[in-house]
Amino acid sequence: MNAAPFNLDLTLESGQVFHWEKIGPGEWRGLIGETPVCIQSRCGEVFAEPHDVELVWNYFSLDHPLEEIYRDFPTDATSQAALSACRGLRIIRQPRWECLATFITSSMKQVAHIRAMSLEIRRRFGRKVVGSPTNAYPSPEALAACTESDLRACGLGYRAKNLVATAREVASGRVDLAAIAQLETPALRAALECLPGVGVKVANCVLLFAYERLDAVPIDVWIGRILLAMRRGRSGTATQLARYARRRLGPYAGYVQQYLFHHARVSPKFTP
């Protein structure tokens, strides 16, 4: 399938998802939900097994109008440098529970640590998937049945308590992740922030990666520094910075943020 512009490596290495494994140049193996997929991208063409075009197209958001998004990128040098370095990076449409649970475990952790925790949770509590060396992400019901100690054994530390508590909210039906998708973004953000372990940053990660609110801006250390420079040194709370970022970075602020984040993280010479 033709998916230009699409850079598979940039997309899967940009800190959105944590269970995919690179098995060759431009070739990756992972799970979309509980479907094992091997995918390769070259010269604008995407080759995947199984050949479920709709599944792959939807997961990797190959319908997002990247050229239109690029035209709306801010014109400052920092944003344009990130755009030049990260062309073809796409925001993934993640399964809602998997995304929410993973980012609850991400607090104050780097990508490598989040990946290690995520894989261990899958190994211990996820269902085996035929044809995949990686287990599916465990359901809310599976994690709701765990103890805090069970999850601490996966390296979660204090995050274990929050993940168990949120799993129980979802498994019990008190929170319906599908139903709240109908809410306007401010109400959806508020609903997410009511869950244990979900603050402003995690809520914005989930809004962007699981609910496709492309103006949501997760604020981590990297993005905080960049926004501080854009604001000429004026600091603010996480909520204030996220609000400023949505105004400053435009209607596709989530995309701009992801390009800025990945460029900052991998470029040794990057300075905002």
Q: Give the chain's domains with CATH numbers.
A: 8-63 (3.30.310.40), 75-86+213-272 (no CATH), 96-209 (1.10.340.30)
The predicted structure's pLDDT at residue 242: 81
Q: Under a CB-based contact definition with an 8 Å cutoff, are residues 32 and 24 in contact? A: no
Is the predicted pLDDT of residue 44 greater than 80, yes or no?
Answer: no
Distance, in Å, from the CA atom of 69 to the CA atom of 256, rounded to the nearest integer, reads 9
Distance, in Å, from the CA atom of 223 to the CA atom of 39, rounded to the nearest integer, reads 30
Distance, C-alpha 223 to centroid of its chain: 15
Beta strands in 33-115 (DSSP E): 35-42, 45-49
Question: Using one digit for the tens of pLDDT, what is the confidence trace for 123-176?
Answer: 999 999 999 999 999 999 999 999 999 999 999 999 999 999 999 999 999 999
Question: Model-level pTM?
Answer: 0.93
Is the predicted pLDDT of residue 237 greater than 90, yes or no?
Answer: no
The predicted structure's pLDDT at residue 271: 59
The CA-atom distances, in angstroms, between 181 and each of 11, 186, 216 are 24, 12, 14
Six token digits for residue 30: 């992972």
For the chain, give the percent of residues with pLDDT over 70.
Answer: 97
Distance, in Å, from the CA atom of 205 to the CA atom of 114, rounded to the nearest integer, reads 14
Is the predicted pLDDT of residue 222 greater than 60, yes or no?
Answer: yes
Is the predicted pLDDT of residue 66 greater than 60, yes or no?
Answer: yes
Q: Under a CB-based contact definition with an 8 Å cutoff, are residues 94 and 137 in contact? A: no
User: Mean pLDDT score of the chain, rounded to an integer?
Assistant: 92
